[in-house]
Chains A and B, each alone.
Chain A
């Protein structure tokens, strides 16, 4: 068990190219479950491979347990890795796969068998499965063998590179919980890479959001959700995504169709517009019985429903606001006008498409971002 530190670590694939990982500064505490999340090309996998020693560190340092490992070969780092495609050894049985690292450490066979059995029990792998070859296993079983190969080692750090992306949706949700619970029980520092923000939110103690090789924000899932530092994090974290749209500034607030949302006083001068962000659950459907929040400050937005996505417990309403042009901007977040907003409504009796609705929003729930830099404009 050990803490992990990235200290101004960079990786450049080719001379003059944009760094795949750009001066990454990230501290991971001993026993912590840290998730690196970002879209493809964000550098999350490269960052993990730098920690594994499979990619060189071109600048800066990577430390495990306080020791600089930037130049250490993978086999001397005392880490275990779960690969996206599991990378099981095809010619070896499940037991041999799991015990391979121990064999390489010259652990005697009885001890090896004991630890393999223990790991198999921990992962609910049947004893009879230990003698099979990987190709005789289902995807979920292979995933567990890959996990088993990592935990048999009792390494300082677990590295996981999208280990759930090859599982079907139901199994993924199940395994997600199992991995988080296993990590809590073993208490081994874990770095987990995923592009799925739901995985990131549900599994990580802390989540580091990367984009374009740069760390955008690192914090607890709650912090990232409630207090994103910039427009990228705001749009990336949360499903359905935050409604983001560029709005012109009018005296002391952002002008949305039919209303003005008051903004925090600390606006930088010289701005003529601002990007406002509203989470779908903060757009509340008003009815005759429930006319918004009994709060004088709430603002109303009216429009008509163009699409209803029923999820069971709740429904997502895609609402085109009155005054917006019907032209679709292609769904690019932050694009001016046109885009419908998404609101989360109670699922039992959602309005039907075409119906006129009024949404209320509390200005305290509205986030504002700089239209040029994307940085959060906070009070």
Chain B
């Protein structure tokens, strides 16, 4: 190393990359510009407006318009137990739902990876919940499925002693999670199935010849192979599930009480029921900051997952 450091700093010999002219630079930048401008107008401008509002006292249902009230909106956000509870509830619901989608999705993917008559039909049927739009799914669950008096679920469970159970009133938290899992499990299953089908067949045959049982093969070879797929599934599933809004708005309205009030629904309520523009803007800013922190970790993991893929 010492020898290298003593070497005089000389310009590298040989051909150098040709410098790009300004015209060339713009010819590459220009096609991206409309998309960039559009993104700035629809996301960054509203964000700046939101920051401005977060320092204002502004109630839609009170006369007098808005006036500057410093950081008192923020002070209120950090002391509001509803806001903190909404964060905790969002995190626990997302974690439980994602874990369940991973476990059920993997189990179904393993079953679907086998050849059996009618596999195509079964696969399509399992994917179907993913294709139903969340609002429509929520309405179907809330009415025909879960209605205390006429619901299909109570009808099916009647032989087991279930009688006019009001699922969305008495078990709101669990029921919302079930609907979230129902909607997103197919997505997880598809990702895991893609992973299973990318596993080379001769490796599995080698394991058979090496005397491994089906369970050992799964634990020793398939799970490590699936790791990047599971990571990707967990990451995307978390992004989707953490923003769940439709089901909560249409099935429970965040209730009973605040039992199912997640962060997106909390913000919605603050604007649309409390008309508290300043307070909801402050809560929104805090949410964005928290999201950026979590997302930058997630994106780093994303990058790692894809690097791992390339290195294989």
A binds B: yes
Residues of A at the B interface (CB closer than 8 Å) are: 52-54, 73-77, 79-81, 83-85, 87-92, 100-101, 104-105, 135, 149, 153, 159
Q: A52 touching B211 by the CB < 8 A rule?
A: no
Is the CB of B216 closer than 8 A to any CB of chain A? yes
Scoring B residues 220 to 264 as 1 if CB is less than 8 Å from chain A, else 0, what string do you get?
Answer: 110011000000000000000000000000000000000000000
Is the CB of B210 closer than 8 A to any CB of chain A? yes
Cα-based distance from A101 to B220 in the complex (angstroms): 12
Closest Cβ of chain B: how far from A118's Cβ, in Å? 18
Q: Max chain B CB contacts within 10 Å: which of A52, A54, A76, A153?
A: A54
- B residues within 8 A CB of A79? 209
Is the CB of B206 closer than 8 A to any CB of chain A? yes
CB closest chain-A residue, reference B199: A90
- A-B pairs with beta carbons under 8 Å apart, 8 shown: A52-B209, A75-B213, A76-B211, A81-B209, A83-B206, A89-B203, A100-B210, A100-B212
Cα-based distance from A159 to B203 in the complex (angstroms): 15
Q: B212 touching A87 by the CB < 8 A rule?
A: no
- For the complex of A and B, list the 6 residue pairs with the smallest distance between their C-beta atoms, beginning with the closest: A91-B224, A87-B202, A101-B210, A87-B206, A75-B211, A104-B211
Q: Max chain A CB contacts within 10 Å: which of B203, B206, B221?
A: B206
Q: A87 touching B203 by the CB < 8 A rule?
A: yes
- A residues within 8 A CB of B206? 81, 83, 87-89, 149
- B residues within 8 A CB of A81? 205-206, 209
Closest Cβ of chain B: how far from A84's Cβ, in Å? 8
Contact of A149 among B205, B210, B221 (CB under 8 A): B210
Is the CB of B312 closer than 8 A to any CB of chain A? yes
Closest Cβ of chain B: how far from A274's Cβ, in Å? 46
Q: B209 touching A104 by the CB < 8 A rule?
A: no
Contact of B209 among A75, A85, A88, A135 (CB under 8 A): A75
Contact of A74 among B208, B221, B225 (CB under 8 A): B208
Is the CB of B311 closer than 8 A to any CB of chain A? yes
Q: B210 touching A91 by the CB < 8 A rule?
A: no
Q: Given contacts A53-B208, A89-B221, list 20 more A-B pairs with CB under 8 A.
A: A52-B205, A54-B205, A54-B208, A74-B205, A77-B209, A79-B209, A81-B209, A87-B200, A89-B203, A89-B207, A90-B225, A91-B224, A92-B220, A101-B211, A104-B211, A104-B212, A104-B213, A105-B211, A135-B311, A159-B209
Q: B216 touching A104 by the CB < 8 A rule?
A: yes
CB closest chain-A residue, reference B200: A87
- B residues within 8 A CB of A135? 311-312
- A residues within 8 A CB of B225? 90-91
Known: A75-B213, A100-B220, A135-B312. A90 touches B208 (CB 8 A): no
Cα-based distance from A105 to B205 in the complex (angstroms): 17
Closest Cβ of chain A: how far from B38's Cβ, in Å? 42
Q: Max chain B CB contacts within 10 Å: which of A52, A84, A104?
A: A104
Known: A85-B202, A87-B202, A89-B221. A73 touches B208 (CB 8 A): yes
Count B-side interface residues using an 8 Å CB cutoff. 19
Cα-based distance from A201 to B312 in the complex (angstroms): 37
- B residues within 8 A CB of A105? 211
Contact of B312 among A90, A101, A104 (CB under 8 A): A90
Cα-based distance from A159 to B208 in the complex (angstroms): 14
Closest Cβ of chain B: how far from A175's Cβ, in Å? 19
Q: Max chain A CB contacts within 10 Å: which of B207, B208, B210, B220?
A: B210
Cα-based distance from A75 to B211 in the complex (angstroms): 4
Cα-based distance from A135 to B312 in the complex (angstroms): 7
Cα-based distance from A54 to B221 in the complex (angstroms): 18
Cα-based distance from A76 to B209 in the complex (angstroms): 8
Cα-based distance from A52 to B207 in the complex (angstroms): 12
CB closest chain-A residue, reference B202: A87
Cα-based distance from A90 to B311 in the complex (angstroms): 11
Cα-based distance from A228 to B206 in the complex (angstroms): 36
CB closest chain-A residue, reference B206: A87
- A residues within 8 A CB of B216? 104
Cα-based distance from A74 to B202 in the complex (angstroms): 13
Cα-based distance from A91 to B203 in the complex (angstroms): 11
Known: A85-B202, A89-B203, A90-B225. A74 touches B209 (CB 8 A): yes
Q: Max chain A CB contacts within 10 Å: which of B209, B216, B220, B312?
A: B209
Q: A75 touching B210 by the CB < 8 A rule?
A: yes
CB closest chain-A residue, reference B222: A91
Cα-based distance from A81 to B211 in the complex (angstroms): 11
Contact of A83 among B205, B220, B224, B312 (CB under 8 A): B205
Known: A75-B209, A149-B210. A83 touches B202 (CB 8 A): yes
Cα-based distance from A100 to B211 in the complex (angstroms): 9
Cα-based distance from A81 to B206 in the complex (angstroms): 7
CB closest chain-A residue, reference B217: A104
- A residues within 8 A CB of B221? 89, 91
- A residues within 8 A CB of B224? 91
- B residues within 8 A CB of A87? 200, 202-203, 205-206
- A residues within 8 A CB of B203? 87-90
Closest Cβ of chain A: how far from B129's Cβ, in Å? 32
Cα-based distance from A149 to B211 in the complex (angstroms): 12
- B residues within 8 A CB of A76? 211
CB closest chain-B residue, reference A152: B210
Q: Max chain A CB contacts within 10 Å: which of B200, B202, B211, B225?
A: B211
Cα-based distance from A80 to B210 in the complex (angstroms): 7
Closest Cβ of chain B: how far from A142's Cβ, in Å? 13
- B residues within 8 A CB of A77? 209
- B residues within 8 A CB of A84? 202
